[in-house]
Amino acid sequence: MKRFIIPFICVCAILVVVLYLTGSAAYDRTMAEANRSLAVRAQSAADAVDRVLQSRMIQVFTFAALPTLRAFAASDDAERPARMALARAELQSMVDADPNVRAVGMVDTTGTVILSTDKTMLENWSDRVFVREALRGQIYASVPARDLGEVSQYYSAPVLNNAGDIAGGLVVRVAVQEMWDVLGDQFDVLLVDQNGVRISDHSAAPQNFVALAPPNVDVLNRALAEKQYGTEVTQIRFTNLTDLMTAVTRNQPQATYRDSKGQVVHAALARLKIFPWTVIVFANEEAMLAPARDIIWDQIKIAVVSAVVAASAILVTQYLSAPDENTK
């Protein structure tokens, strides 16, 4: 029997080495495929958000060029009342034609609301970024902002007079669901702005307006002073995902970090084309490696069966050869 023990041990050792190598290869292959899938999803989501933002910005720019609105913005205090009814009807038609549009307003060159379909008439919006950008001649889309009891986005565009000078700005407030719906019910996707603040989070415990990590105090104070996240957001809480925040800041395509439970998480990042916002698609490492574990478990079962068969063959061979040895 002893002469069969060494071959049997050798066979078992070979099986162990094969299992280790194939298992390691399976883990590497599974992780590579999972990371590629995350990257594809992140880029696809970023492209979809870009399209929504660009489409709405082009629409607002087109609205701002309407002759009725241009004439109203360019008129002086004496002429403006006579043009107000027609301009207001134009704005109201924009609201009535699109269920996602909550309100439309116009500001003069000082940032004061001179016409609106909601209750913001005569408010001074000069400190709001979307107004400043419009008065600088830019088309703009804001991050989600909580105002008037709901989360919205503001799209703005300059309104020009006949000489081509900026006479005011058009502001369209749109329900944020228009952008959020692009990401659907994917609980493993985040959208963060340039400050690392979550502006779209559909996870089981959403944390919109929560920063990934402690933000720069000066940047945060300026954002709050400018009401970037709305008049009803007066503070920004934060989590401790420093590694993920670093990846966002450096525009890295991938990141690995630990979540609040200490679990290893892999993420793919894709930055939007028109704004420095970043889509993050993430997955728990344990879940990512589940297919590899299934493969390895199947291989272990095959190896065990093979070892049992080999042992049985050795025993049968020994049994059959025993009479010959006795006769000798």
Provide CATH code, domain 64-178.
Answer: 3.30.450.20
pLDDT at 185: 77
Mean pLDDT of 230-243: 93
Distance, C-alpha 171 to centroid of its chain: 25
pLDDT at 328: 46
pLDDT per residue over 126-154, tens digit each?
A: 999 999 999 999 999 999 999 988 999 99
Query: CATH 3.30.450.20 region(s) of the chain?
Result: 26-53+180-285, 64-178
Helix (H, G, I), strand (E, B) or coil at 259: coil
Contacts 24+ apart (CB under 8 A), 248-255: 248/192, 248/196, 248/212, 248/278, 248/280, 249/196, 251/278, 253/39, 254/35, 254/38, 254/39
Level-2 CATH architecture, domain 26-53+180-285: 2-Layer Sandwich (3.30)
E strand map for the chain: 101-107, 113-116, 140-141, 145-147, 150-160, 166-175, 189-192, 198-201, 210-211, 237-238, 254-258, 264-271, 278-284
What 3-state class would DSSP assign to 28? helix
User: In the predicted model, what is the mean pLDDT of residues 149-173?
Assistant: 96
pTM of the model: 0.81
Least confident range of 19-33, 265-279, 300-314: 300-314
How is the chain split among helix, strand and coil, in percent rounded to 5? 50, 20, 30
**In contact, 150 and 175? CB cutoff 8 Å:** yes
Are residues 244 and 214 in contact, defined by beta-carbon separation less than 8 angstroms? no
pLDDT of residue 31: 79
Q: Residue 297 pLDDT more than 60?
A: no
Q: What is the pLDDT of residues 40-52, one digit of tens each?
A: 999 999 999 999 9
Task: Give percent of the chain above pLDDT 70.
Answer: 79
If phi > 0 it is left, if psi is from -120 to 50 it is alpha, else beta; for residue 130 that is: alpha
Predicted local confidence at residue 88, as pLDDT: 96
What are the start-end ranges of the H helices in 198-277?
217-225, 242-249
Please identify which residue in the block is written with the tokens 């297919």.
291
Closest CA to 54 of 164, 146, 155: 155
Residue 21: CA count within 13 A, CB half-sphere: 6
* pLDDT over 90 (residue 25): no
**Count, residues in the chain:** 328
Amino acid in the structure at residue 96: D
